[in-house]
Amino acid sequence: MNNNTEILKGLVVRGSRNIMTVLIDTEEGNAELECRIKGKVLKSCEKFYNPLAPGDWVSVERQKNSKNALVLSVEKRRNLFSRFNQKGALSQLLAANVDLVLCVCTPASPPFRPRFLDRVLLQADSAGIDALVICNKVDLYDGDIDVDERLEDFKRIGYKILMVSAKTGEGLDELRAEITGKTCVMAGQSGVGKSSLINALQPGLNIKEGRLNEKFDRGVHTTTMSFMTDIGGGTRIIDTPGVRLFIPDGIQADELVSHLREFAPLAGKCSFGMSCSHKTEAGCKIMEAVAAGIIHEDRYESFLRIRSDLEGNYGND
C-alpha cells in the first residue's frame, strides 16, 4: 500500500462472476468503480455460483481517482435472496440486504403461473424477507375465474397482492407507496414486465425491455444480469433475469412443510410424524387439510413438485 492507495466502502450494484460494479460516495458525488475480487474473498465464496450480489456492502482498494478497484472483503449480510442454480449445482445469489421481494406475475401474456409464485414466495419466507405479489399487465386482463380464485387463495394465506399495469400506470401509486425508502428485489418469469415496471416507476431510465415470443407467449430473457437502480426517495430496486424454473435454495426437502405458510402449523402432526411422505399415509394431516380446503390443492401439487426438486430431481415446475 502507498500514499496513493485508498480503502473505501461501497455498494455492489451489478456483478458477474468476477467483475463487479461498486458504487462509492466521494466528495464529488457518487461514482461507479469496476472491481475485480481478491482471491481470498473468491475462495470464501466457493459454495456460491457468484461471490457477490447487488445489495452487498464491500470494502475496496483503489489508486486514488482510478475507475478500477479490488474488492477486499464483503460485510456480513442481513439477508440473502437466492435461487438454486441447477447447472452449477450451487446457490446463485440474486440480491443481498433487501427489505422486500416483489414477486411479479401476469394474469395473462405470459400465462398466469401460480406455481412460480409459490416458489418465489417460499424463497422470500425462508430467507426471512417480506414479500409482495405484483400482478402486472392488468390492462390485458378481463377476468378469469381460475386466476381470481388462486389470487384469492394467496390473500387468504396472508400475502398482499397489487394489480398494476406498467403500460397504463394503473396501481403504480399504490406500488410506490409500498416500496418507498426500501431496497427491493424483483423476481418473476421472463416477460412479466419487471424491467418495464422499473421504467414506469422512474421514467427516463430506459432499462432494456423485451418483446414476447408470439409463438410461445413467453418472454425472451431480455435482462441477463441482476442490477440495482436507485429510483430516488431512498428506494432501490434490483432487477433480475427471468428464469423458466425457480428452484428454491437452502431448504432441506424434509423441512419444506415448515416453510410453507399454511402447511407449517401441521409440521410433525401426522400419525407418522416427521417421516410422513404426505402422499399415501393414513392420518396425514397435510392430506386432511387439502381435503378440508385449508391447503389449496394446487399448493399441495406445488409442494410435491418443489420437494422433488429439492431431492435433486429437477425440472418440476
Ligand X SMILES: Nc1nc2c(ncn2[C@@H]2O[C@H](COP(=O)(O)OP(=O)(O)OP(=O)(O)O)[C@@H](O)[C@H]2O)c(=O)[nH]1
Residue 166 found at the interface with ligand X (CB under 6 A): yes
Only segment of 26-34, 91-99, 188-196, 253-261 that touches ligand X (CB under 6 A): 188-196
Name the closest residue to ligand X (Cβ): 242
Pairing of strands 80-85, 90-96: antiparallel
Nearer residue to ligand X within complex by CB, 183 or 195: 195
Residue 110 found at the interface with ligand X (CB under 6 A): no
Answer with the entry of Zn ion, Mg ion, ligand X, none that 212 interacts with (C-beta below 5 to 8 A by kind). Answer: ligand X
Cell of 48: 456460491
Residue 289 found at the interface with Zn ion (CB under 5 A): no
To Mg ion, the closest distance from the beta carbon of 287 in angstroms equals 39
Nearer residue to Mg ion within complex by CB, 135 or 270: 135
d(CA 250, CA 255): 10
To ligand X, the closest distance from the beta carbon of 168 in angstroms equals 7
Other C-beta atoms closer than 10 Å to the C-beta of 277 total: 13
- Binder of ligand X out of 59, 86, 202, 222 (CB under 6 A): 222
- Name the region of 65 (left: φ>0; alpha: ψ -120 to 50; beta: rest): left
To Zn ion, the closest distance from the beta carbon of 254 in angstroms equals 12
Residues numbered 231-250 forming contacts with ligand X, rule: CB under 6 A: 241-242
Residue given cell 381470481 in the structure block = 148
Specify whether the CB–CB gap between 42 and 83 falls below 8 A. Answer: no
Q: What's the helix, strand, coil split of the chain in %, to 5?
A: 25, 30, 45
Only segment of 38-46, 175-183, 184-192, 300-308 that touches ligand X (CB under 6 A): 184-192
Residue 307 found at the interface with Zn ion (CB under 5 A): no
Specify whether the CB–CB gap between 14 and 30 falls below 8 A. Answer: no
Residues numbered 253-272 forming contacts with Zn ion, rule: CB under 5 A: 270
Residue given cell 456480513 in the structure block = 76
Cell of 29: 458525488
Other C-beta atoms closer than 10 Å to the C-beta of 113 total: 17
To ligand X, the closest distance from the beta carbon of 239 in angstroms equals 7
Site string for Mg ion, 163-202 (x = CB under 5 A): -------------------------------xx-------
Counts for the chain of helices (H) and strands (E), in that order: 8, 13
The three-point CA angle 274-279-281 to 5° equals 65
- Binder of Zn ion out of 119, 150, 278, 299 (CB under 5 A): 278
Answer with the entry of Zn ion, ligand X, Mg ion, none that 97 interacts with (C-beta below 5 to 8 A by kind). Answer: none
Classify residue 109 by burial, with Cβ atoms within 10 Å: 0-12, 13-18, 19+. middle
Answer with the entry of Mg ion, Zn ion, ligand X, none that 284 interacts with (C-beta below 5 to 8 A by kind). Answer: Zn ion
Answer with the entry of ligand X, Mg ion, Zn ion, none that 270 interacts with (C-beta below 5 to 8 A by kind). Answer: Zn ion
Answer with the entry of ligand X, Mg ion, Zn ion, none that 219 interacts with (C-beta below 5 to 8 A by kind). Answer: ligand X
Nearer residue to ligand X within complex by CB, 57 or 116: 116
Classify residue 61 by burial, with Cβ atoms within 10 Å: 0-12, 13-18, 19+. middle
> What would you report as the CA-atom Rg of the chain, rounded to the nearest whole angstrom?
21
- Binder of ligand X out of 71, 175, 192, 276 (CB under 6 A): 192
Other C-beta atoms closer than 10 Å to the C-beta of 302 total: 21
Instruction: By CB under 6 A, name the binding residues for ligand X.
Output: 136-137, 139-140, 165-167, 188, 190-196, 209-212, 219, 221-223, 241-242
